[in-house]
Every structure is written in C-alpha cells, then in structure tokens.
Structure 1
C-alpha cells in the first residue's frame, strides 16, 4: 500500500462514534448547510418504508439534521411509491425529472436526475433495500461534511454478512472492484467499500461529475472525484453492519461487467466497441446462451444541463 494511503487511513477513516449527533447539529447550525437524503428505489416496498421512517423520525423530527427525504422511483411495479410516501418521503418518478431527455434504466441514471429535484448543499445517497436500518448510516457519512470543510465526499464502510457468514458479502467488490482499484488507482486502495451505495457528498462536487447510468456509478464517481478534488478530500466512516437483499451469481456477473466497463472507459477513453456479456442458463439437456448489453452511457456533469443552471439562478 502507498504511504500516502496509509496516512489517509489514519487521517480520513473514522467511526460513527467519533462525531456525536449534538456535535454534528452544532456544525450544521454554524455553517447553515442543508442536507438532502436520496433513496433510489425499484420494487423495494418491503424495506423502503422502514428506512424513510427511521430517517424522518430520528433525523428530521427529533433532531433537525436532514432537511428533505426524496425517494426517486425508477419504474417500480409494486407499492414502493405509496409505501415511501406514507412513511414521509417526497416521491418523484424518474421519468418526471428532465422529461426532454428520455430516461434509461440504471441506478446511476436515477442518482444523476435526483440532483435536479433536491436542494441540499449536501446530498446523501442511501440504498432502498437495506434491512435493520440505523440512522447511523446517515449521521456517519454526513457528519464529516459538516465538521470538516476540506472533505467533499464520504463513503460508508461496514461489515456485509452473507447469510450466516460474517464478512462474506460484497463479492463484486472483492472479485472485480478491489483488484481494479489496486492495480490502476492505488490511491483508492484504502476504501473498504468502494462500491457501497451509502455515501454523501457536497453538491458542488456532484454537479461537476459525470454519472455512469448503471451499476458502475459508484466506481466512476469515486475515481472521478479523486482526480477532481484529490485523495485528502475523500473519507470513509465505519457505520457497523449492512444487511440487504443479495443478488444471484448471474446478476453479479452483469454488475461486474458494467463496473469493468466503467473502469475501462476511465483508463482509455478511446474508440471502444460496444460491449456485451454472454451468460449461460440450463435449458433441458443443454445450456442456452443469454446475451446482455453492458451499460456504457454516461450522463454529463449536471452543471452542464440548462435546466439545472436555470434552477440555480431562480
């Protein structure tokens, strides 16, 4: 590990207990900054309501840390929108945001569009499939942005149990993302959960970053933030344990392909063929190939979008 990263692990890796809530609230009052929490959601009716309720009850009503909770529904066919609204979130459908630009499927697309329907100086992203959710996920990653003016992006780190096996989750991280980062971006090798969906950043940073539309969004944002603001402006906070729905091996394969493509584009933004991933499923006595396109599209920095600039002037 680079000496720079070893120093960074000491200076920029914290625990949620390092910043008690009263200290974070005092910093929020002193700086006057506002906080938006965004949950990208697709068919998460079983979990989204509990997450919204915890954030609303503990960090909006009981303690005024969060100024708005926005669930961006990316086309759910279940009751995700109704459950989220009943729990206290403002729900916006992906297709209602920037309608002149047709939406494409993908988590990154939803996160990018969320910048147009939120107002916070700090934007905190939380996945909508978390179970046993704790408000520590929000206070942990928002806290450093309120107390440390030179920090611009904070990722959560945590244990990720897979069933009864402690620490066996995050398979795409260990098999794809971590090797890529260590080989090509070794200054990012200190991040425990580089692909984690819980992170917060200053709007002033997010609006200057391109957003991969699919699963590569977390890796892309981390790499691009490193180049834009430097390692010392990035941090991570231990928030405990993350429990969520795990995907099957083939879904993880498609996720890995998108992440690899995101890295590939950042290594060589050249003339690359449009990639595809072929997987195999048993059908009777044989294996049938199934070919999927790999997410390659990226949205430009939001600061380049006319509607966003007009909103800032209004």
Structure 2
C-alpha cells in the first residue's frame, strides 16, 4: 500500500540565509496579491477569471518590469506554485452548494501570516538525509535538525525509505522549518495481538482499546488562552490609542501594513502562545 507522510524539521540558517528566505516568501506573497487583484477586477466586471497559463505568462512579464524586478531573486517554481494555489482556490469557489470542498473567494495575504513557499520538483541528490542537509534553489545547502530519520517505522521496528515528492518551507514564530512530503510503499499491515485501537474523544483526549487513557494538560492550555486574551486586548487598545493620537496630530495615521514596534512585539507574543498550545 502507498502511504503519504510529512516530516517537519527546523532549519539551521544564519542571518543571511534567513533574510533570503524572507525575501522568497515576500516574492510569493507579492505575486499572489497582484494576481488576485487582477482576478478581483475581472470579477467586478463579471468577466471570466484568468487561467493559470495566462497568469504564468503575466508572471514572466512582471519580472521584466522595473517595479517587480525583485521577483527574479525567488525560485521560479515557488512563484508558479503560488499561481496554481490561487487558480485552485478560485475554482473551489465555483463548486456546487453543499460540496464540502467549496470555499469562499480568496483574500489577500498579509505579512508574517503563513509565510513560506513550496518546491514541487525535488531531486534525490538534493537531500543529504544522513547528514541532515537539504539543497534549496539559489541558496545551496542548508542544515536542519534531524530529530528523526526520514523513513517510515514499521511495527517491528524496521525503517522503510520513501520518495520525497515536495518540499515546503514555512516560518513559525521567527523560526524556519522544512517539511518533506514523502510517499512510502509499505506492506499491508497484519493484525497482531499487540495492536490496539485509538479513539479520540471528549472526556479523554485518547482512549486505547486496552483500557489506557491519555489526557491533555487542560489546566495549562486554559492558562495560556487567558494570556492570549489579555495580549489581544492590548493589541486592540494599541490600535484604538494610535487612532486617537493620530486624530490629535500627535502620531502618524494607523496603518496595519506598517505596524509599530509595540504592535509587532504583541503579535509575536500571541503567535508564541498559540504555538505552545499546538505543541501541547
């Protein structure tokens, strides 16, 4: 049987490489927003959306302009995948009512929210798994924290290597991560006496068929949620106070695209709190 698994590791990069990754993510965001702006204009005029192939030709034209020449810094595959994502998102909005895959019209992407990019074509020689290295376009070799082998572990403890189909580079709370989308060919599992069933419930987070239960640290989660609520109130007050000061001419106009140092710090703290809940 074929099985798909994602293996996520933290990248070890210096400030120069981290800046380059941020620029790549920024180029991806700029392409998505510019293409979405064109699609929004056509939607307002009741015209048919632009296809992916047409947008890909426009991308080549954008790179030749002085205004968007910075797109040449990013890998072409990552920018093309962005246009594919937008094309797929728009098609999902036209699905029939009641279809679970139906989605709302895509919205513009904001900075520091979902930053990253995807590389669909991966060569086996670009992954040095024993030494924990991956080769990225226009960056070269980057090390990652090899916390576990890039292989599927069977019930008897044997490791089965797989084939990496895609590489995802993402940013979370100031740290960069690499995710390997891997396909495995494993033998069909055989039921054994030691196998157990897992049920995810409400009273207990996990209940096993042998009677054992596993519970989350709900007390700590509720405590963190209270801290998040407090930080969000401060974030809201930061915006309202900035607007009042701007009305009196004591501060610049509030612009969420250019947040202040205090606002950036509050958003970083909120992201770290959410990450801690996810880790729990």
TM-score band w.r.t. shorter chain: under 0.3
Bigger Rg over Cα: 2
